[in-house]
Homo-oligomer: A and B are copies of this chain.
């Protein structure tokens, strides 16, 4: 697709997200806050489904992973140990002419992008991307705290607590879902690069044998790549890219990105890193606590090495949205917009319609809706022509629409219309749950 077509596709999705209550600008009535977004009634269910899928597949459903939920505000020494206080910075310059501030590496030909002045910049200063605040009654250096820029450090800080209280044995993982914050100078691409975002991170602790770490690094690369495929991302748009040696952080023994072809370009959904024993060693050093692990099989004590699959919940949600988005001809040859979500991710699983609002159809439809709602997020709609009701559900990605018509009352049947094939089948009302279960689980 050409760049223009891609831009239109992205604009159409952003517009749909607003129109159908997936994603709004934060505090929009006040002009918004750059880099912050709100999930509306459809978006919140979609994102909950993405996070629940990750939790079920990565934590609760596994024998070798436990979960944790750490606070966003932590003791600031955590960020000294992690290196963020010193090194989590962007190089910035000010234009002395117009006072604008820019990333030094984004200035071309020493010319100000705002006022056009040349060679009027201050020296480069290093701007820390962590949001800073003060905890307690005093507002001085002793009370500084940061909004965590990543969730994983809470896992490292709890490593010893979890080893000593939970029945975990290397190799094992600790997973977490939670908000993180980065004061990005230039938030962009809708929810892709935002200042407030949610991570789904897991630290998988393995033995100190590099071959063992390399094996698990391979395992998690494949496992995570497959995860996105299993929830429906198009394989041709999903890429696993191994980092070159000169891209690696100084402590990392390997890193790979799972990338997706967004309309704005190929970009990272998730990073899988072999972080070696860097983090536990650093926290051990800075906290003066022994964070080694005693292996009761080999009877040795060591710092476990760590494989980290680190995913963005907002990025995954955005990828599922854009990948599901299609404009195509409907049954009548008219254009329909449809979100082809995987059934487990769809915010609404089934919609129930009385064909007309009389002859007992609304009552029957309400009964069926109430029964389905015990099991799935079901939506009742009795407004407008049936074709328009299908279109409204297509637009939010509802996999099935159940219609109650005249025959429903005489023969106790309903029609079930599939979002993707747009075909309808007639099903006995008593068989409806079993029929839907095949796809909705």
- A: residues with CB less than 8 A from B are 18-21, 24, 26-41, 43-45, 47-48, 55, 60-61, 63, 66-75, 77-78, 92, 101, 127, 131-138, 145, 147, 154, 157-158, 160-162, 165-167, 174, 179, 181, 183, 185, 195-196, 283, 286-287, 289, 291, 373, 377, 380-381, 383
Contact = CB atoms under 8 A, between A and B. Distances in A.
B43 A69 contact: yes
21 contacts: A21-B66, A21-B165, A27-B74, A27-B157, A30-B74, A30-B77, A30-B78, A30-B286, A32-B75, A33-B71, A33-B145, A35-B135, A36-B71, A38-B70, A61-B373, A73-B195, A101-B138, A127-B137, A133-B133, A135-B183, A137-B185
A419 B299 CA distance: 36
A33 B162 CA distance: 18
Assembly stoichiometry (copies): 2
A206 B165 CA distance: 49
A167 B351 CA distance: 14
B137 A71 contact: no
A166 B31 CA distance: 21
A38 B145 CA distance: 16
Most B C-beta atoms less than 10 A away, residue of A41, A74, A158:
A41
Contacts of A165: 18-21, 40-41
A179 B151 CA distance: 15
Contacts of A157: 27-30
A20 B161 CA distance: 10
Contacts of A161: 18, 21, 24, 28, 40
B67 A33 contact: no
A71 B30 contact: no
Contacts of A77: 27, 30
Closest 7 CB pairs of A and B: A27-B75, A41-B66, A30-B75, A36-B71, A29-B287, A39-B69, A21-B165
A37 B73 CA distance: 9
Most B C-beta atoms less than 10 A away, residue of A73, A74, A147:
A73
B39 A68 contact: yes
Contacts of A66: 21, 41
A47 B92 CA distance: 42
Contacts of A55: 48
Given A38-B154, A101-B137, A158-B38, A60 B45 contact: yes
Contact of A67 (B32, B41, B286): B41
A67 B48 CA distance: 11
Contact of A78 (B27, B34, B145, B287): B27
